[in-house]
Amino acid sequence: MDSSKNARDQVAFPVLIGDIGGTNARFAMIEHADSPIVRLPDVGTGNYRTIEDAIDDAVLARTALRPQSAMLALAGPITDDQVDLTNSDWIVEPRKTVARFNLKEMILLNDFEALSLCLPGLERQDIDPIGAGIARTKGTRVVVGPGTGLGAGALVRGRESWIPVPGEGGHIDFGPISERDFAIWPNLERPEGRISGETLLSGSGLLRLYRGICATDRVAPRFTDPSEISERGLVDRDRQAIETLTLFSTYLGRLAGDLALIFMARGGVYLAGGISTKISPVLKSGAFRAAFLDKAPHTDILETIPTAIITQTDPALAGIAAFARAPGQFVVDLTGRRWRA
């Protein structure tokens, strides 16, 4: 394992890049530093026993390019030579992957760390704004996104470089505020014995919140899948589904506002993930931004901070690509996260 502090030296091309989530794995290849991303079909993590089997089938069987290095974003903390993904059965073993594919090196990033790397390159067409606020060009930026789990990351500016701050912000404690919250909270499932941000702000969390609302209203749940709840809530067909999306947006706004204050994110707070884009009409209807701003005595600060949904396709892959092409623009601590042959 390489103990170097950053990757200002160039990586070896072609580069295999990947965004490995709890449900899906997204792969792409970059032939040279100035080459476009060659996107490959998504694969379900549950369809392969190991990540190496997925790379064989989803990458090497579909392109003549052979990677010299690999840079992967993983949904979970990277702590040693065996990385257990938070919401998947895969165990990533970099030494094994390097040897199997004859790579020169392999770099692992947290998934939302990779997402944060895309933020400086976002153009106007890559985001869907929620409310007002103007991003400061060199201001700290935060990305948060509900999906299979709930991820969060930050990007700070220092010494003329961007510095990603990975973490597990989705697992912070989460509590009730309004009277309705206090009514619902006793009826919420606690899979880990407590209620964290991810308990409610994720795919399974959406279902958990819906069931809690139904129990509070003393009605039988009609839906068993998060996508059903989203669809019914968006078309005003079910009262509990509608409230689920409204409260989901409110709670996401609260968490986003907390993160904005923690990092003083003058560069903006950005929402990622499939859920955010799917329920964007609800997120833009007012509840999210109102909860984001409801942080007295610092509402005036938050009013200046923009919030937006990332609409760019594959933002995590874009972030990894930006780092691979120009590592000198970033300072990424790769201690314990870089393996060389």
Residue 2 has pLDDT above 80, yes or no: no
Alpha-carbon distance of 119 to 165, in angstroms, equals 13
Alpha carbon separation from 119 to 156, 217, 317, 329 (Å, rounded): 11, 41, 12, 13
Q: Which of 312, 309, 236 is nearest to 277 (CA)?
A: 309
| Domain limits for position 260 | 125-311
Asked whether the beta carbons of 336 and 95 are under 8 A apart, the reply is: no
**pLDDT, tens digit (0-9, with 9 covering 90-100), for 15-40:** 999 999 878 899 999 999 999 999 99
Residue 1 has pLDDT above 60, yes or no: no
Mean pLDDT of 107-117: 91
194 and 305 within one domain: yes
104 and 201 within one domain: no
| Residue 245 covered by a domain | yes
| Residue 3 covered by a domain | no
Alpha-carbon distance of 122 to 118, in angstroms, equals 7
331 and 249 within one domain: no
Task: Tell me which of 5 and 214 has the higher pLDDT.
Answer: 214
Alpha-carbon distance of 224 to 185, in angstroms, equals 20
224 and 170 within one domain: yes
134 and 83 within one domain: no
Alpha-carbon distance of 321 to 324, in angstroms, equals 5
Number of structural domains (the chain) is 2
Residue 3 has pLDDT above 50, yes or no: no
57 DSSP assignment:
I
Lowest mean pLDDT: which of 156-170, 193-207, 271-285? 156-170
Residue 260 has pLDDT above 80, yes or no: yes
Query: Mean pLDDT over all residues of the chain?
Result: 91
334 and 303 within one domain: no
Alpha carbon separation from 335 to 1, 84, 151, 219 (Å, rounded): 8, 18, 21, 52
178 and 111 within one domain: no
Answer whether 0.95 is exceeded by the pTM: no
239 and 142 within one domain: yes
165 and 247 within one domain: yes
Degrees, nearest 5: CA angle 137-165-300: 50
Pairing of strands 105-110, 127-130: unpaired
**pLDDT, tens digit (0-9, with 9 covering 90-100), for 63-98:** 999 999 999 998 777 877 888 776 677 889 999 999
Buried b (16+ CB within 10 A) or exposed e, 95-115: ebbbeebebebbbbbbbbbbb
| Domain CATH for 143 | 3.40.367.20
For residue 201 the two structure tokens come to 């702000």
